[in-house]
Amino acid sequence: MPWGQRGPRYLKYLKFMVSSSHYAWCHSDEGDGGGRLTLILHVQPGAKRTEVIGVHDNALKIRLAAAPVEGAANAVLVAFLAEVFGVPQRQVVLKRGNRSRRKVIEIIQAARGPEVLFTQITASGVN
């Protein structure tokens, strides 16, 4: 299967990577009543639309519909994750990777768990 085409085996792999109880790209900390969710992301700016693609090198890969100029891609990423997790943008904090494709994001008191990202993968057209 060519790289651009994604079939049922790829979808099954993504489902395993996202719904597995242990994955390297997401950590949850329920201590102090804060409920912090830490995500390790590989971001690809300059895409036609913002979408979750899958897993790349132990990080969740997200394409962003913004150029990597003066923080525009970071702003789109924060807005996207805030919408997906049902929190205000001020609760999505960029911890590391301000000028890098590899980013560490912390979501404070996420209304939804990381499995919501799987619905983003299937909604983005993975067949």
pLDDT in tens, 70-89: 889 999 999 999 999 999 99
| Across 96-114, average pLDDT | 90
Is the residue at 3 inside a domain? no
Q: What is the pLDDT of residue 11?
A: 61
**pTM for this structure?**
0.76
| Alpha carbon distance 114, 74 (integer Å) | 19
Contacts of 56 (CB under 8 A, 6+ apart): 42
The residue with greater pLDDT, 99 or 120, is 99
Task: Evaluate whether residue 27 is within a structural domain.
Answer: yes
| CA dist 86 → 18, 40, 82 (Å) | 18, 19, 6
Count of domains observed in the chain: 1
Residue 117 lies in a domain: yes
Terminal-residue alpha carbon distance, the chain: 13
**What pLDDT is recorded for position 80?**
94
Alpha helices in the chain (DSSP H): 8-19, 72-85, 116-123
Q: Would you place residue 126 in the very low, low, confident or very high pLDDT band (cuts 50, 70, 90)? A: very low
Q: State how far the Cα of 126 lies from the Cα of 10, in Å rounded to an integer.
A: 8
Q: Give a yes or no: residue 1 inside a domain.
A: no
